[in-house]
Chain A
Amino acid sequence: MNILASIEKYADSQRERTAFKSRTGEITYGELWERSGRLASEIENRMRDNRDPVIVYGHKDPMMIVCFLACVRSGRAYCPVDINTPAERIAQIAETIGEPLVLTANRSSAGNGIDISELLQGSGQVIGYEEIQNLPEAGDSVTKLKPCTGDDVFYIIFTSGTTGRPKGVRITTDNLNGYLSWAVTLAGGIEKQSVFVNQAPYSFDLSVMDLYPCLAVGGTIVSVDSMLQKDNSELMEYLTGKGVNYWVSTPSFASICLAEDRFCAELMPELKGFLFCGEVLPCGTAHSLIKRFPEAKVINTYGPTESTVCVTEIEITEEMAAGSEPLPVGKPRPGTRIELDPETSEIIIIGDTVSPGYYKEPEKTAKVFFTADSENPGEGFGENSVSRAYRTGDRGRFDAGGNLCCDGRIDNQVKLHGYRIEIEDIESNLAGVPGVRRGAVAPRISDGKVESLTAFVIREDETITDDYAGRKSVRLALKEKMPSYMVPKRIIFVEDLPVTNNGKLDRNKLKEMA
């Protein structure tokens, strides 16, 4: 797979086909290639010998994709920053790069009022939305550009650590192309000219799972902006008649949509698959999707940003969804090998999609990345191959069918009255309680010490009543499944669970709520 070559080919063979649309506009393949070429020349003119990554600031405007392609066509990595990112964090990212060039890919009227030029305080420069839109034809200079290739970094995504400075994960052109060769085979093979739904903001690498596989098959991305994600009924209207074939989102977002009865096969009759990544897919969510969309495959995947979106996959059957948590995440792609640390069961990912490391962070890189060699490396590896390896911090095991299962973080552990407790362990038991649609558990902390646990529960129906009897029944059901010290003291019924801008369960918010 050579993603840039593929897009260029479609820009010629299907010029007028829509590559991307959102509520702020749409763009054809022809226009995408033309505009990104003009902008690539402009970037080259401005930066010359400076090969630093370029920040692309925006949300879900078609110009976002123009900017991404422009950066890599000029031979520079792009660093996507969503408009919902706090100013302080944007400043940290800019500081890490030094004197960055920032491309503004959303109309100045939109956004959260952050003035990028002000934020940069003179170190760095900005190309505004209107300027990008009105760039003159580039002429010959486009042909002289040297696009990203091989080990050149294609994008840098800053991951949201809970503390400290964000770390920039570098993904090379080879990483991405290696990932894509496999990504287009998911769900029985992604068909040409498919329509993808995008939920994730572009600063979250789940978005790579819809953007590039879609462009690789000459398809159309239907991108859902953050305001639309907060309005279920408006969202259902928006999706109507869009001819969606593949749905890419966090499981949390799908579960929010499931609250709407209209979210079923009639809304998206041509849907072929749900592709999930980014967090644990609860059985209940998978089960409801299979029931409501009998023709669509539900694909669970697993992988951290550090190994290019995801590296394992499995189709979730009705039987699996009716079974016990957690759902398996499947088998590795060709080119990836999974090993478990014999002591901690930490999942180690080895293969050609593993990042070369964090941007300007050699120490942090050395802690979790290393080089692995093997005489018996497996499918997709050369003989005696040497590959990059990454310690994920996730705890895993293989089930009887040889599928990888994730059992939470090796560090998502709380200590309560001296007992070691895995939060995810309680949550998967909670999800197995009849009448519980979803549940999340957070520690209640006082003076830095875990005092007790609180469970937030979304009820499926009136099987569990919204009163003391209901709360007691949940506690008793949990007591049958696990030692009593693990049973959360507080059971709180909620309508929904807090999610982050990326659409993942917001564990920090949960802690505050506890």
Chain B
Amino acid sequence: MREKLLDIIEELCGDDIVKEDPDIDLLEEGLIDSLDYIELLLKIEDAFGLKMSPSELTREEMATPNRIIEVVEKRLA
């Protein structure tokens, strides 16, 4: 699951740094914008059948690839 999610994030950000350094702050680094963020949630839904709406998540929770993985893992468990 981790790999699959990292692939999705990499595809969205266009840079493999997200795999090399999964603690990188996506928004701060300009790797993701609000449009990409919505896209990310849609792709997570497609891939894992997990529906998440932007309002139920804080920016902090979804700031880095590792944190995104954590959130998705927790919700799928």
Contacts and interface: CB of A to CB of B under 8 A. Distances in A.
Bin the interface of chain B by size.
10 to 19
B14 A489 contact: yes
B30 A454 contact: no
B15 A471 contact: yes
Given A417-B35, A468-B20, A475 B30 contact: yes
Contacts of A488: 14
A452 interface: yes
A479 B30 contact: yes
Contacts of B20: 468
B13 interface: yes
A472 interface: yes
Interface string A471-507: 1100110010000100011110000000000000000
B29 A472 contact: yes
Interface residues of A, number: 14
Contact of A490 (B15, B29, B30, B35): B15
B30 A472 contact: yes
Contacts of A454: 14
Nearest to B15: A471
A468 B14 contact: no
Q: Which of A471, A472, A489, A491 has the most CB of B within 10 A?
A: A489
B13 A489 contact: yes
Interface in B52-75: none
B7 to A, nearest CB: 15
B32 to A, nearest CB: 10
Given A475-B30, A479-B30, A484-B33, A490 B17 contact: no
A490 B15 CA distance: 6
Contacts of B15: 468, 471, 490-491
A476 B30 contact: yes
Interface in B9-68: 13-15, 17, 20-21, 29-30, 33, 35
A454 B17 CA distance: 16
A490 B17 CA distance: 11
Contacts of A471: 15, 17
A484 B35 CA distance: 12
Contacts of A452: 14
A93 B20 CA distance: 51
Contacts of B17: 468, 471
Interface of A: 417, 452, 454, 468, 471-472, 475-476, 479, 484, 488-491
Closest 7 CB pairs of A and B: A489-B14, A490-B14, A468-B17, A471-B15, A452-B14, A475-B30, A417-B35
Given A475-B30, A476-B30, A484-B33, 18 more contacts: A417-B35, A452-B14, A454-B14, A468-B15, A468-B17, A468-B20, A468-B21, A471-B15, A471-B17, A472-B29, A472-B30, A488-B14, A489-B13, A489-B14, A490-B14, A490-B15, A491-B14, A491-B15
